Structures are given as C-alpha cells and as structure tokens.
Amino acid sequence: MTAHDGMLVIGGSAGGIEALIEVVARLPADLPAAVLVTVHVGGNSRSSLPRVLARAGRLPATHARHGEPLRSGHIYVAPPDRHLLAVAGVARLSSGPRVNRHRPAVDVMFASAARWGGDRVVALVLSGVLDDGAVGSALVARAGGRVLVQDTADALFDSMPRAALSAVPGAVGAPAAGLAEVIGKTFEDLLDERVGTEVDEVGSEPEMAGPHMGDSDDPGFLSADEARLTRLSCPECSGGLAEIELTGLRYYRCHVGHQYSPQSLEAAQREAVEAKLWAAAAALEEHAALARHLAAHSGPASDDRVLEGYRRGADRSAHTARSLLASLANREDGTPLLDPATDAGPGAAR
C-alpha cells in the first residue's frame, strides 16, 4: 500500500455483520483501498468472519497479522481480543486496554487510520449499540477523510450510526445495499481532489490503544489532551477518569488507557453498579450467617448482651439483603438493571 492509496475502515456491532456482508458483496475487485474491519466479538470467540466475507464478494479477506503490509483490494479483519491499527502502511495488532469496553474497538482502528491516512481515509459505521466509532469518526473527519454511515432507518440497531452522525453532522448515510456505490464514488472524489500531499505522522490528535495510551511522560501528571480530571472512576480499573473534549464531543480516559465515549461509560457504570449491589447483598448474607453462628456457638459463659447484639446484627443484615435482592430482581418495569441477553442494558446488544 503506497501513501497515495486509499483506506476504507469499517466498524460495526450488533446487526453489523449482515450489513457488512451486503456492502462487501458489492465492492469492486479493483477498489483502490485497503479495507480494515472491526466488529465487536468476544475475546474467547473463534471468528470465521474473513471466510464469510471472502465468499460474499470479490475481495480476499483474512484476519490481520501483526506487521503485515496493507494492500489495496484486500480485507483485513480484526481478530478476537486484539485492536487493529494501521500504522505507516502496515497492520498492527494491539492487546492494549479496552476502549468502550471492547477489544477490538472501532474507535481505535478509526483513530489510527486518521492519524496515518489523513484525507485518504473513508470510515463507515454500520449497525450497532451505543457509541463506539463516534470519536474515531470525528478524528477521521478532522484529518480530512470522509465518514459514511448506514442509514439509521436501515440499521437493525441504529445507535452507532446515530452517534457517528452526531459527531460528524456532515456524514453521508445510505442503506447497506447502496453503500458500496457511495464508497466507490467517495474514493473517486478523494483521488481527484488529492494533490500528492503526505500526512504528518506526528499529529495533534489524541492517541488511542498505544502501549501507554494517553499517558504523559510523567505518569503523575495529565497528558496535554486530558484537560480536565473528573471525580469519576474507571468502571474497569477504578482509576481516575479525565474528560477530553474534541470539537464538542466528549470522551473519557483513565491513566491505564481504558477509554469510553459517553454512552459506553454510562453503560459500563451501570453494569459496575449492579455488580457492586449483588456483591453487597452477598456480603450482607455472609454477615448474617456469621452473626447467627456466633450467637449459637459462643458458649454458656458468653455475655447475653453480646449474643443479643449478634442476633440483632444478623436480623438487620438479613433484612437489608432481602430488600436489596428484591429491588434488584423486581423492578417497576419488570426488567433487571441490565438485560442478561445484552452487554449494555435493556434493549442493547454486544
């Protein structure tokens, strides 16, 4: 892949694979761009997506390999549990911190493409839940690239396309069946407009998913883009979260490098709250059991007031645990705090 070739980066989540297959089926064999794909998958999954995509269209598709040169007309799929980045014309795989609770994450891939590819990049956001891809879309647009989204009326889950549209109001939307044509036309326009300028490798955009993503030179201080330290803690590691603002779009990053767009952070905090509540209920039940055991087995010489204190403490803890468990299991809308069939609350999907 030369500095004058294009780069198509595609991200999706729930409902995105169906749309991705439809797009790939219509891409031309002579597409003047390498195609990088990130779809949210579980870390322990075995992915057959490259084989599915290769059968669907005319472009060969493989899981990306670390250090592999990127070639136009080839599809590179992020493997499970690895971020996929494009750096200086080669694929890089990273086991860096999760972004928006995912590895691989769309924002990581988009950000790296924007940093290296600049105005040669076309980013496409497909069906998915929450807002992964929104920050990356803003970075692509800021670097001079183009942003496309699956039409929200056509997407099975429209949250990711809507978030990208909010981040980049000028993004172009189209149904999945028409996106390949829009992609082809967009690359024609980009190639016509380019005059051979190179992209500055040392951009001013925030880093994502590097070895020490977001760290300053001195770990005791914030990096330049982390302008505001909040009182919020990272749902994954409990580190402090810095709020970063990007042309009106805010996102959050901890010192370790876990990063969240607003919707993803809210969902992660909600999930952390539920885990803490279940843990609190279990701890209360354990205390009640211990206090009852001590009351029953402390021996005849024990102070009656101490034994009565054990019994009262056991009753209080048991009552609080029952109330908490009832609140967790029986909500007014009949749903748990998080829908067990999803990764981010009622109506969401991984």
Per-residue pLDDT tens over the stretch 314-325: 999 999 999 988
Q: What is the pLDDT of residue 340?
A: 41
Q: How far is CA 260 from CA 74, 251, 271, 280, in A?
A: 30, 6, 14, 26
Per-residue pLDDT tens over the stretch 77-129: 999 999 999 999 999 999 999 999 999 999 999 999 999 999 999 999 999 99
Model's pTM, two decimal places? Answer: 0.79
The C-alpha atoms of residue 226 and residue 250 are separated, in whole angstroms, by: 11
Overall average pLDDT of the 272-289 stretch: 92
C-alpha 49, offset from chain centre: 19
Give the residue among 279, 301, 281, 283 at the shortest CA–CA distance from 291. 283
User: What residue type is assigned to position 144 of the chain?
Assistant: G
Q: Has residue 27 got a pLDDT over 70?
A: yes
Overall average pLDDT of the 160-165 stretch: 97
Q: Has residue 347 got a pLDDT over 70?
A: no
Active site residues: 13, 40, 132
